Amino acid sequence: MGAAPGIAGSRRPEVEGVFVCQGEEEAEFFLQIINNTGGAVDLWSVDGIDEGLLLDYGNGFVYLPSRIPAAQVRLVRSDVPRQLDS
């Protein structure tokens, strides 16, 4: 997580794990609605995850309760700008 704030500006992780999106529509929601970093973010694809290991956070979003090896992630889009309310 580093110095970047988490969801809703929190300073610590919401869960011990990694939130993952289960489709492009959900990824777009995170990119455009939940991005509160104040700047651009990157979108990564994850391969080889056992979906049976995903846990429900209680709000419809899921996370993997472990680290994801670097060999399983691939950069899809870089520097996606924050969408500001009109």
CA distance 30 to 59: 14
The DSSP output letter for 13 is: -
Integer-rounded Cα radius of gyration of the chain: 13
pTM: 0.72
Average pLDDT score, the chain: 82
Confidence at 6, pLDDT banded by 50, 70, 90: low
Average of pLDDT values for 10-29? 84
| Residue appearing with tokens 């455009």 | 32
Task: Say what the pLDDT of residue 81 is.
Answer: 78
CA distance 69 to 82: 27
